[in-house]
Homo-oligomer: A and B are copies of this chain.
């Protein structure tokens, strides 16, 4: 297992030069966000991630979380202590309002911090991720009393949160949800609901890290309408909370098993039975788990959707984070593995980093990872602006950009991470297939990211439906106009670039933009007239959007790096080397990744007839 080193230099570059760190710092409501403070947060986060979380990544995978009879779940060795340090360091509270004990850090700064946790230990990071989702929902729709009861402990992290959506028959299609919630009252408990049903795929649905687990559960009341309009959201705590804030009786929630998964072994994925009466604990509540309605009945899915941007953005970051880790791991191996001569000559075997195809693989990993980071952080910065910018037009513009890009960050970064982590194995050759090496874990872990929090197809449906077709491509066209001005800048700057990199990037970007613009128009034109054809191209369209948006950000990065190099000409500082590498990496992205835009355009605009051409029985 290689070490993890947080890529702070690239993070800083992206935050400052691409994602508008200074503009975010100037937003009203952001207090004291000097560049120094940001750097300090990054340094401390790096230290914690590298020293505490990263060393548990492989051991956690090997040991896994273990279900114990009685329904307890034991997390791997070291996780309890790491979690204790995690909350003691205030990390869990980072992005939340000061009112509940949080640190109110803007999204842009929380983003690299989250990336680090996820690179260091994806399985660990899922516990705070789910807590954050539950906090977000309660912040937005919880009653004042609910907020007071649950949020301080959850923000601190001594209680965790979960999201309970999936049931065996209801995965991508929540209309099929069956868990029931019946109104009840009780002299001690007051008005509440009794929840009965089975939930699956509950990340950290049971664990030994926190005193209490606050489950947010989607269920139907007896008189609810059918389908998605009859789903309500409930708070169902593992231990009921007494009026003085202490923990009371054990609720009727049984963890009956955890899944045996391809990856994220340390993260327990629980099957939970709500309302069973077979608890071992004699003090437990039977006849339905006690739950408390969040907001109004039948609006649960709507509430869940409000928190979705944050959750999907976070899973997109997972794609980035695991790609970064896999890249570092492969690069480190390529530096020490001696095999074969250099093609340029010499009699001795050299590190495989010198082999052109190994370089191609590493460049592909590096370029895609940096493009993901650039796009994700830019979206993160826009999320802050969309919330806090004083000008409502600007808030709306940024909000539309964020909404357009969230499914892309989620879908594209995660899909690309499968490619990147698989390439990481390939760099290792035979030892990549051996689990002890650690490279295989990254692919196994990455493989869930395109599935949970909405599969890539779900993201793509959202993208073409709510984000393209609904406004007939207007938001996308506004982004295209920005892309075109970057391309024009590249043309302008290329005269001062003797290497020809900027010109080449410009050519690649122009082709990508053209393909994207054509496809936006095609989707807008066909979404209503031929909805199946539009959907047949939806995932390729999401990928096209990702590579063009990522290529655009890399082009911006190359432009800025070029300006900095020209300004600092003559020196050979580490910064000059960083900027030069950034330009070449951006060119790699243009020639090797953006180049796929042409094929994706054909898939999207011409591919539907064959995609939809077979009868069911011809498969």
Chain A residues in contact with chain B, CB under 8 A?
166, 169-173, 175-176, 200-201, 259-263, 331, 334-335, 338-340, 343-344, 349, 351, 353-360, 362-363, 366, 418, 422, 425-426, 429-430, 432-436, 440, 443-444, 447-448, 450-452, 455-457, 460-461, 501, 504, 508, 531-533, 535-536, 538-540, 577, 580-581, 584-585, 587-588, 590-592, 595-600, 602-603, 606-619
Contact = CB atoms under 8 A, between A and B. Distances in A.
Nearest to A354: B616
B362 A619 contact: yes
Contact of A592 (B455, B591, B610): B610
A147 B419 CA distance: 46
B599 A171 contact: no
A17 B293 CA distance: 65
Contacts of A356: 532-533, 535-536, 538, 608, 611-612
Name the 6 nearest CB pairs between A and B, nearest first: A588-B610, A584-B613, A595-B599, A356-B535, A357-B457, A595-B602
Given A340-B173, A538-B356, A599-B598, A426 B450 contact: yes
Contacts of A452: 430
Contacts of A433: 259, 261-263, 447-448, 451
Given A366-B619, A584-B613, A591-B606, 12 more contacts: A166-B430, A200-B430, A263-B433, A355-B457, A355-B535, A356-B533, A359-B614, A360-B539, A422-B447, A433-B447, A443-B447, A592-B603
Contacts of A455: 426, 429
A451 to B, nearest CB: 6
Contact of A169 (B338, B456, B591, B615): B338
B434 A451 contact: no
Contacts of A175: 340, 349
A455 B433 CA distance: 12
B603 A595 contact: yes
A611 B367 CA distance: 10
14 contacts: A166-B430, A172-B339, A173-B339, A175-B349, A262-B434, A343-B531, A356-B533, A357-B539, A363-B614, A429-B451, A577-B617, A581-B618, A592-B603, A595-B600
A114 B172 CA distance: 38
A417 to B, nearest CB: 11
Contacts of A353: 616, 619
A430 B443 contact: no
Contacts of A363: 610-611, 614
A176 B602 contact: no
A201 B588 contact: no
Contact of A596 (B448, B531, B599): B599
B435 A261 contact: yes
Contacts of A580: 618
Contacts of A435: 260-262
Given A591-B607, A595-B602, A611-B363, A335 B616 contact: yes
A120 B440 CA distance: 24
A511 to B, nearest CB: 9
A507 to B, nearest CB: 9
Contacts of A200: 430
A542 B118 CA distance: 35
Contact of A357 (B201, B351, B538): B538
Contacts of A616: 335, 351, 353-354
Most chain B CB inside 10 Å of its own CB: which residue of A595, A597, A600: A595
Contact of A587 (B351, B430, B610): B610
B536 A359 contact: yes
B584 A359 contact: no
B614 A584 contact: yes
A608 B363 CA distance: 11
Interface core residue of A171, A360, A588 (most chain B CB under 10 Å): A360
B602 A599 contact: no
B587 A429 contact: no
Contacts of A597: 599
A533 to B, nearest CB: 8
B610 A591 contact: yes
Nearest to A357: B457
A506 to B, nearest CB: 13
A448 B426 CA distance: 9
A304 to B, nearest CB: 17
A603 B585 CA distance: 14
A614 to B, nearest CB: 6
A578 to B, nearest CB: 8
A432 B451 contact: yes
Nearest to A590: B610
Contact of A426 (B334, B451, B613): B451
The CB with the most chain B CB atoms within 10 A, among A166, A357, A450, A508, is that of A357
A590 B434 CA distance: 36
B591 A602 contact: yes
A369 to B, nearest CB: 12
Contact of A581 (B201, B354, B614): B614
Given A580-B618, A606-B591, A430 B447 contact: no
A355 B539 CA distance: 12
